[in-house]
Chain A
């Protein structure tokens, strides 16, 4: 794993974090639930907690889908290319490219071999890692690896991800510390990934 320069992290008095969605996106509960599951994966291994709130400007973490130039100097580039980005602590800004074909159910594979479908939860788990202070990893199976092929679902934290986040925030007392499942056992599937690689 890697950390941002200076190892920024959420301060001790801000470990019970709130998140909210840009109301202009008018997201459904199903879509919001995907983010809830993604936050829960990080909360399970650290002392951090994440609570959804409706007050967008006042929340610690703000989530929005935008297209092209959306005002932060990092414009999105249309379908595929860059999918999302997030800022290091304590910014809390989490932006996703609304030009992607986001799949929200986790069912991204099995039928079409080469599509532009992108699993939303996979990207959300990755970007939350940035929001919490993790940089990119060279471990290809890790959540914090920079690329994700279309049609691939990768949502389970690996040992590398867990080591990184626990270095920053300590361990969840309820985390049993067992090693995550092997690559073959993890919830991961791809049909287009191999082709694109």
Chain B
């Protein structure tokens, strides 16, 4: 049911139902800066792909906090976007592109920069401080 010989073989009704996906909701976050709420799903996205450590034991809030800002910065660095720590339009448009389910960062270390590794650590649960270190 899910294989098609070419793009014209896909029933129009199926295309109409499937041109948007759950990540498209992230487009609403374009331009978000600290102080804007409603972002816990984006944090879950970043955690899934390694930008927030899997062993982070706190609950995600809707706040645009340091956890999110550092995840965005690392994502922008990996995808060679302007590293601003903000959800600018290009970053959000990139976030919703379909992708491989494998994480970009494994065990807190990204090797996507040809040997330059970026390590992420939580300094502690209290205050949820989050640091990104370039080695």
Measured CB to CB, the residues of A under 8 A from B are: 1-5, 28, 30-31, 65, 74, 76-86, 98-105, 107-112, 114-118, 120, 123, 126-127, 130, 135-138, 140, 146-151, 196-197
In terms of DSSP, what is the predominant structure of the interface of chain A? Answer: loop
Instruction: Assess the B97–A84 pair: CB atoms within 8 A.
Output: no
Q: Which of the residues B20, B49, B97 comes within 8 Å of A197, measured between beta carbons? A: B97
Quick check: is B21 within 8 A (CB to CB) of the other chain? yes
Per the bound structure, the CA–CA distance linking A118 and B2 in Å amounts to 11
Quick check: is B113 within 8 A (CB to CB) of the other chain? yes
| CB-defined contacts of B125 to chain A, threshold 8 Å | none
Measured CB to CB, the residues of B under 8 A from A are: 2-8, 10, 14-15, 17-23, 49, 78-80, 93-94, 96-102, 104, 106-107, 109-114
Per the bound structure, the CA–CA distance linking A112 and B23 in Å amounts to 22
Q: What's the minimum C-beta distance from A150 to chain B, rounded to whole angstroms?
A: 6
Instruction: Assess the B2–A65 pair: CB atoms within 8 A.
Output: yes
Instruction: Assess the A138–B113 pair: CB atoms within 8 A.
Output: yes
Q: List 9 A-B contacts (CB under 8 A).
A: A79-B18, A85-B101, A101-B10, A114-B19, A115-B15, A117-B10, A147-B97, A196-B96, A197-B93
| CB-defined contacts of A65 to chain B, threshold 8 Å | 2
Instruction: Assess the A78–B3 pair: CB atoms within 8 A.
Output: no
Answer whether A85 and B93 are a contact pair too, CB < 8 Å, given A31-B3, A112-B7. Answer: no
| CB-defined contacts of B106 to chain A, threshold 8 Å | 4-5, 135
Chain A residue, CB-CB nearest to B103: A136
Instruction: Assess the A80–B98 pair: CB atoms within 8 A.
Output: yes
Per the bound structure, the CA–CA distance linking A65 and B1 in Å amounts to 12
Our count of residue pairs bridging A and B at CB distance below 8 angstroms stands at 148
Per the bound structure, the CA–CA distance linking A150 and B107 in Å amounts to 30
Per the bound structure, the CA–CA distance linking A108 and B21 in Å amounts to 19
| CB-defined contacts of A108 to chain B, threshold 8 Å | 6-7
Answer whether A116 and B100 are a contact pair too, CB < 8 Å, given A28-B3, A138-B79. Answer: no
Instruction: Assess the B100–A84 pair: CB atoms within 8 A.
Output: yes
Q: What's the minimum C-beta distance from B83 to chain A, rounded to whole angstroms?
A: 13
Instruction: Assess the B2–A149 pair: CB atoms within 8 A.
Output: no
Instruction: Assess the B97–A107 pair: CB atoms within 8 A.
Output: no
Q: Which of the residues B2, B14, B22, B102 comes within 8 Å of A77, measured between beta carbons? A: B22
Answer whether A136 and B2 are a contact pair too, CB < 8 Å, given A2-B112, A79-B21. Answer: no
Per the bound structure, the CA–CA distance linking A109 and B3 in Å amounts to 16
Instruction: Assess the B4–A117 pair: CB atoms within 8 A.
Output: yes
Chain A residue, CB-CB nearest to B6: A107
Answer whether A102 and B3 are a contact pair too, CB < 8 Å, given A80-B21, A81-B23, A115-B19. Answer: yes
Instruction: Assess the B114–A138 pair: CB atoms within 8 A.
Output: yes
| CB-defined contacts of A136 to chain B, threshold 8 Å | 78, 100, 102, 104, 112
Instruction: Assess the A101–B15 pair: CB atoms within 8 A.
Output: yes
Instruction: Assess the A115–B7 pair: CB atoms within 8 A.
Output: yes
Q: What's the minimum C-beta distance from A85 to chain B, rounded to whole angstroms?
A: 3
**What 10 pairs across the A-B complex have the smallest Cβ distances?**
A85-B101, A80-B21, A107-B6, A2-B111, A82-B101, A79-B18, A116-B18, A147-B99, A147-B97, A117-B7
| CB-defined contacts of A78 to chain B, threshold 8 Å | 21-22
